[in-house]
Chain A
């Protein structure tokens, strides 16, 4: 019964997602005037792939030692550091870019120090700057996802390895975990970098740093050629499909088996852990400090509408989080009992561009309703949809473990339906659920794309207000409003994340 209910809801959800993602792309495609990629589009595709691949590789390589160090060391402030790791991913892109520029820019702290020491200065603008920014965004995400993996290794395994005198716990215990988790992490980062737009353009140094997402923006905004935008979205989609397939092929089943289900502490700390964590903390925290320093002076002078917009954004973010978490839970449950196609549906939103989704919805709904009357619900829906792939990835490894390790027990006990959800599934998954809800809320809080397309003048969300302030020369107030945005995104994230970890057994 319960399985049937899960299967039916998953089927309905997946169809809804597919209809939204493909339907909106189709709404643009029907306006196509021709189906040819321009030479500039090929250049954009090449640059997009190169920067995404480099950023993914570097983020994953760096995240491994950081996550490992976090998993096996205990120190004061460890929890705070883990929560803070959520922050970069939540920064509105332009805020993060300005924070990085404060440090690494021509007039930044680094170059001023180098110049004072009589050393040659460095430039942040170029492919390396784009990769640096993407690593700043995604290293924490990768670390958190890997840390979840490390924490899911039963402590008994490490002790067993010691008892057996296995020469390398890394090879026999940690490597299988990485093989199960890493492809998913890499995939998520690759797909995030694939649709990068502001980072690539602002730090890229020139039009050679053009991504597909910019080409889509140009096609929709300046050339008003929805058909071409749909074609480009199709290319982006194909790249995503290839990436999803490759990641699935390289993901190995974990198969570490059941432990006593006690959190961690199977491994001893190593001397490299301290410097690794210190470096990571400095790399991640300094730009945040710059953002705070830029924004703090004008916070008290912010007009009242900023606070109204903040409240509106926070409520929308929470709605999006609830929606997204529920959908992810249903899809993950269906996936672990064997519905492979569910995964494709869950990853589908990453393949589309927010701009294509928004424009498509606009075209589809405009004959029925005034755009601004549905602006807020549509924004919630789209944001829930865009966060879904991350949540799905986050839940999947542990949901899979849960099923493998406890399904037989639950069946023996006759535990099913709501009781199974209440007593088994939710308590076991509450940690990734909490983090996922926080992530969805924060991502939605910072979204600008969809709401800008639909919203009337009086429904401004916080990111829109930040944009309006900086568009009116009020850079100080814009920085302050951005700080409010960052702080509230982070508060939402921390609330859910800490809540999830507190509730975990």
Chain B
């Protein structure tokens, strides 16, 4: 009997509680919202100040987030879209679904970045990661890599955002000569995987000397596993960047709440969560600095990045070139 009374009491209270608390829906990629990702801490921090509930809606990766948004169109139930990168923002903007940002928060990105629709929340440099106990003299450029006997695993630009980043990297560094670089790299490539985790898994199994990942990848092994054996190779051509951004949808009925969330995302509290959960650099370095271990990471002399417009315009041709050269 007691349980029935309790259940009735709960049932009558629940709708009231739900009506009072607005829910902010954030469409993001899987690993952001995962329990070891930045999602839970950021949701908790924001809920403490917004009197609202944050609900994550997830899709596989950045590209999956965009395709889900395109499927939902103006009927999307999301308020915030979080996790696109600059290779995708132009396509996202063209959907016309994004509202202008209410404010531009200051950032510490190594390249100037402002965008009317998208606020950066973290960023990283792509890099080839290797085991420094096995490889003592890593290549210092794509040309050195291509001339070596080293074996690499890369991701497919047709199904993975890092894979697309690599194609953009070669394009940004070599322009018209990119096809020749791919031709020279062909015999170094062990295989091309559909996703980052398959490539990284193969690398950890010892299938390749190097894997396309991020300069921050060694920080995971150092901080989470106390393992200093992984390093990232700095390339003379410069390191291509990935900037991850968030934006609010024009169809959201909670514009003010969405603005508040984006402001919180840029705040010290949220930015301090990023480095050891998403293993990327926070867009704005927190007052307390980066976690111990990040100072050991390589600092590329030069950052490469195609603008969203260049990336959008050149993407198709660059991927086709990659495909043609490597299919021979």
Contact = CB atoms under 8 A, between A and B. Distances in A.
Interface residues of B, number: 60
B70 interface: yes
Contacts of A207: 156, 158, 192, 322-323, 326-327
Nearest to A200: B194
Interface in B141-172: 151, 156, 158-159, 164
B235 interface: no
A456 B217 contact: no
A468 B30 contact: yes
A98 B201 contact: yes
Most buried by A among B33, B191, B208, B328: B191
A94 B202 CA distance: 11
Contact of A220 (B67, B194, B195, B322): B67
A222 interface: yes
Interface stretch (A75-83, A101-109, A132-140, A253-261): A101-109
A214 interface: yes
B35 A303 contact: yes
A221 B64 contact: yes
Given A43-B327, A98-B201, A305-B35, A455 B58 contact: yes
B95 to A, nearest CB: 9
Given A222-B159, A472-B37, A101 B205 contact: yes
Contacts of A474: 36
Interface string B197-208: 110111011111
Nearest to A457: B56
B69 to A, nearest CB: 9
Interface string A440-457: 000000000000110111
B217 A362 contact: no
A456 B190 contact: no
A457 B57 contact: yes
B30 A464 contact: yes
Contact of B320 (A40, A201, A372): A40
Contacts of B71: 359, 362-363, 366
B41 to A, nearest CB: 14
B220 interface: yes
Given A362-B71, A467-B197, A206 B204 contact: no
Interface string A356-389: 0001001100110010100000000000000000
A94 to B, nearest CB: 6
Contact of B67 (A43, A98, A221, A478): A221
A471 to B, nearest CB: 4
Contacts of B35: 303, 305
Given A222-B159, A452-B59, A473 B217 contact: yes
B8 interface: no
Nearest to B190: A125
B266 interface: no
B58 A98 contact: no
Contacts of B205: 98, 101-102, 105, 107
B31 interface: yes
A140 to B, nearest CB: 24
A455 to B, nearest CB: 7
A237 interface: no
Interface in B202-227: 202, 204-208, 217, 220-221, 224
B97 to A, nearest CB: 13
Contacts of B279: 473
A222 B63 contact: yes
Contacts of A102: 205
Contacts of A94: 198, 201
B179 to A, nearest CB: 14
Contacts of B164: 222
Nearest to B319: A222
Contact of B192 (A201, A455, A475): A201
B59 A468 contact: no
A99 B156 CA distance: 21
Contact of B323 (A40, A107, A203, A363): A40
B100 interface: no
B46 interface: no
A475 B200 contact: yes
B197 to A, nearest CB: 4
Given A94-B201, A220-B67, 11 more contacts: A98-B201, A101-B202, A202-B202, A203-B191, A207-B322, A222-B159, A452-B30, A467-B197, A470-B201, A473-B224, A473-B279
7 contacts: A101-B202, A203-B191, A207-B326, A208-B326, A457-B55, A471-B31, A473-B220
Interface of B: 30-31, 33-37, 39, 55-60, 63-64, 66-68, 70-72, 75, 77, 91, 151, 156, 158-159, 164, 186, 189-198, 200-202, 204-208, 217, 220-221, 224, 279, 320, 322-323, 326-328
